[in-house]
């Protein structure tokens, strides 16, 4: 049994991380989960939160907003709409993101309003608890 | 026969032109590198997205699936999204896209379908306007955008999806130039609505045990993920098209400007020879006049 799995984190603009991890914390929309190697294949949507991957060089943390995680026995691929290394994001940056999301929610079309509103709520919750 | 002064002026002016085209070529080369890097950096995301959509589509294939995946049940009205550059001076870059789109419009019309056009980029709009102004439904202006970001693509996708929800069209296709190399860009058409996962080029990224046959669990349900994911899949396809287009534009401009610089050089050589000849002729004439004058004495 393998004790590591391939961990990839990509955003539309670049690949943020790609290494072998022994454990990955994924902020799934139905709840956080820690993924270990040989996990059952799952595809889940993400909510705003922290992705924490334990690799050879220690733990790395990333902030993701929305996206999808594709988990199979040998790999975890996180396809995030926005992703940043944790260290790069201050509280103010997160506030700015939140403002942006709020604005987007206000101008969203009717079908989108529900999900945009939910997104703002989740993001606000996350920013509050971040500190 | 132009006078010596005229020739000299022309040589000067062509030299200035050469300087400009040379500078544009070098700027394009620098931008091309950045655009290529951006296109490369965006690829893993697009591939990952495609893969997830692919496995979702396979899982949802038995059911009806959302409208975005299954289509609106008809293919009467086509929306063509013509993506071109904001600037000219890049060889056949814009024309080749417009040509492909025009061909498609003719084919669709011959098949009795209705066509609508959405343009991205000023140059394409100018060219399409001549013939198809009556069926152009919108335009996206990116001239203020320095670096194309995902947000731009998401905005275009929102616009297109809103139109789809309103039943304005049944099938959407994007037209852009796929970057192959500096000297070759391929005009490409790609259907984006209903969503059809594009076959990824590099396969499964070399990951082990990660074939398409894996049966995934879905959290929340397939339907929920699909409704959330499909609009983003559309945005992703538009985003990679924008990036490819950006790289292609710079590549096309670079080779066009390279040609222009070379032509200007040839032109200068030719004009210089002409200049020297007429100077020589003028001197000879003067000499003959002097000798003739001396002999007459």
Q: What CATH number does residue A15 fall under?
A: 2.60.15.10
What pLDDT score does B294 carry? 93
| Statement: residue B207 has pLDDT above 60 | no
Note whether A56 and A100 are same-domain residues.
Answer: no
* Domain co-membership, A74 together with A101: no
Rg, C-alpha atoms of chain B: 28
pLDDT tens track for B120-159: 989 989 989 988 888 989 898 888 887 888 888 988 998 8
Task: Give me the number of domains chain A comprises.
Answer: 2
Question: What is the pTM for the complete model shown?
Answer: 0.84
Co-location of A31 and A82 in the same domain: yes
Domain ranges of chain B: 22-256
pLDDT of residue A65 exceeding 60, the answer is: yes
Q: Residues B59-108: pLDDT tens digits?
A: 766 556 677 777 777 888 999 999 999 888 888 899 999 999 999 999 99
Q: CA nearest A94: which of A128, A50, A48, A127?
A: A127
B197 pLDDT tier (thresholds 50, 70, 90): low
Note whether A96 and A81 are same-domain residues: no
Is residue B21 scored above 90 in pLDDT? yes
CA distance B261 to B268: 11
**Range of weakest confidence among B33-42, B69-78, B229-238:** B69-78
Regarding whether A77 and A15 lie in a shared domain, the answer is: yes
Are residues A44 and A104 both part of a single domain?
Answer: no
Task: Say if residue A28 is in the same domain as residue A77.
Answer: yes
Q: Are residues A82 and A94 in the same domain?
A: no
- Are B52 and A70 a contacting pair at CB < 8 A? yes
A103 lies in the same domain as A69 = no
- Domain range holding A32? 5-86
Active-site choice (B28, B56, B81, B90): B90
A73 and A106: one domain? no
- For residue B229, give how far its alpha carbon lies from the nearest alpha carbon of chain A (Å): 8
Based on the fold, state whether residues A98 and A71 are members of the same structural domain: no
Q: Do B229 and A45 touch (CB under 8 A)?
A: yes
CB-based contact B172:B194 (threshold 8 Å): no
Same domain, A63 and A75: yes
ipTM entry:
0.81
Q: Is B234 a catalytic residue?
A: no
* Topology given in CATH for the domain delimited by B22-256: Pyruvate Kinase; Chain: A, domain 1 (3.40.1380)
Which neighbouring-strand residues pair with B118?
A: B81, B138
Residue of B50, B22, B16, B85 whose CA lies nearest to B244: B85
């Amino acid at each position: 049994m393998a004790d590591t799995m391939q961990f990839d984190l990509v955003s539309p603009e670049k690949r943020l991380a790609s290494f072998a991890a022994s454990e990955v914390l994924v902020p799934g929309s139905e709840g956080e989960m820690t993924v270990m190697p040989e996990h059952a294949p799952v595809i889940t949507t993400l909510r705003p939160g922290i992705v924490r991957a334990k690799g050879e060089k220690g733990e790395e943390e990333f902030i993701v907003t929305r996206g999808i995680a594709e988990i199979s026995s040998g790999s975890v691929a996180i396809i995030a709409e926005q992703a940043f290394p944790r260290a790069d994001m201050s509280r103010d940056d997160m506030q700015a993101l939140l403002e942006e999301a709020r604005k987007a929610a206000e101008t969203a079309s009717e079908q989108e309003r529900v999900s945009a509103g939910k997104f703002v709520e989740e993001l606000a919750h996350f920013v509050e608890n971040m500190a | 026969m132009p006078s010596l002064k005229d020739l000299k002026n022309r040589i000067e002016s062509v030299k200035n032109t050469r300087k400009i085209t040379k500078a544009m070529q070098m700027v394009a080369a620098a931008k091309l590198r950045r655009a290529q890097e951006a296109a490369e950096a965006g690829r893993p995301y697009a591939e990952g997205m495609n893969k997830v959509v692919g496995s979702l589509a396979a899982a949802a294939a038995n059911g009806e699936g959302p409208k975005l995946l299954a289509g609106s049940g008809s293919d009467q009205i086509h929306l063509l999204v013509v993506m071109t550059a904001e600037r000219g001076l890049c060889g056949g870059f814009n024309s080749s896209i417009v040509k492909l789109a025009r061909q498609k419009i003719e084919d669709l019309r011959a098949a009795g379908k209705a066509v609508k056009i959405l343009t991205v980029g000023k140059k394409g709009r100018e060219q399409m306007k001549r013939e198809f102004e009556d069926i152009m439904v919108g335009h996206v202006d990116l001239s203020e955008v320095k670096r194309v970001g995902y947000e731009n693509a998401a905005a275009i996708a929102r616009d297109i999806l809103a139109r789809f929800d309103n039943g304005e069209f049944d099938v959407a296709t994007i037209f852009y130039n796929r970057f192959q190399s500096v000297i070759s860009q391929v005009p490409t058409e790609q259907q984006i609505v209903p969503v059809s996962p594009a076959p990824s080029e590099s396969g499964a990224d070399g990951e082990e045990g990660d074939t398409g046959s894996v049966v995934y669990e879905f959290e929340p349900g397939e339907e929920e993920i699909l409704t959330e994911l499909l609009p983003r899949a559309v945005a992703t396809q538009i985003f990679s098209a924008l990036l490819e287009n950006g790289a292609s534009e710079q590549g096309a401009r670079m080779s066009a400007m390279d040609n222009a610089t070379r032509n200007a050089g040839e032109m200068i050589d030719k004009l210089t020879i002409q200049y020297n000849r007429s100077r020589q002729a003028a001197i000879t004439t003067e000499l003959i006049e002097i000798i003739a004058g001396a002999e007459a004495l």
